[in-house]
Copies of this chain bind each other. A is one copy, B any other.
Amino acid sequence: MNELKERILNEGHVIGTDILKVDHFLNHQVDPVLMAHIGDEFAKHFKGKGITKVVTIESSGIAPALMTATALGVPMIILKKQPSKVLNERLYQTQVNSFTTGKNYDLCLSADVITSDDHVLIIDDFLADGEAVTGAIRLLRMVHSTVAGIGILIEKAFMPGHQKLKAQGYNVYSLVKIKSLEDGTVKFED
């Protein structure tokens, strides 16, 4: 997706050799117009897969996931990063290690909002080691739903996430694939 590549080149900041900061249009400030284009692109790609729900992981995936759910005409589910005192009936949990913060967190899903009839599209902002998406898949399996596809905005293709998910047979579509972040420069695949 050229629009997203251009925003990364113009507004992204590389930190070290593995972190790309996109706080100006995706993670802290969010551009609603870009999010709508991203939602349309995912909806176009996954059209015909019988998607009944879009699932994302709080909180940076929420904006693109909402626009994808809007374009597909289905509800969005937010997997919460920790149980609150409000969310606790029929709650499934799984532990995930965050690549960004290095910390563990619990990801939560209520069996009230996704069932075995659902065909789910997972949307997330970044794919690096695939830990967050793998955690989401574990939860979606616990409620016996079908993972029909995985849509990623920015894939770090030099990390093992995509290969791990592909090896398990998942349909992963990344809008942008980054080959390297070395020398403070973003290099895309192809």
Contact = CB atoms under 8 A, between A and B. Distances in A.
Interface of A: 15, 19, 21, 23-24, 27-33, 35-36, 58-60, 62-63, 66-67, 69-70, 73-78, 80, 84-87, 100-102, 110, 112-113
A186 to B, nearest CB: 15
Contact of A29 (B21, B32, B76, B85): B76
Given A28-B113, A113-B24, A19 B76 contact: no
A28 B77 contact: yes
Given A32-B66, A70-B32, A110-B28, A102 B85 contact: yes
Contacts of A30: 66, 69, 75-78
A113 B63 contact: no
Given A36-B70, A85-B102, 8 more contacts: A23-B87, A27-B78, A27-B86, A28-B87, A29-B78, A32-B69, A33-B70, A63-B66
Contacts of A60: 78
Contact of A112 (B24, B63, B86): B24
Copies in the complex: 2
Given A24-B113, A63-B62, A32 B84 contact: no
Contacts of A32: 66, 69-70, 73-76
30 contacts: A15-B86, A23-B112, A27-B86, A28-B77, A28-B80, A28-B87, A28-B113, A29-B75, A29-B77, A29-B78, A30-B78, A32-B66, A32-B70, A32-B74, A32-B75, A32-B76, A33-B70, A36-B70, A58-B59, A59-B78, A59-B80, A62-B63, A63-B76, A66-B67, A84-B100, A84-B101, A85-B100, A85-B101, A85-B102, A86-B100
A74 B73 CA distance: 24
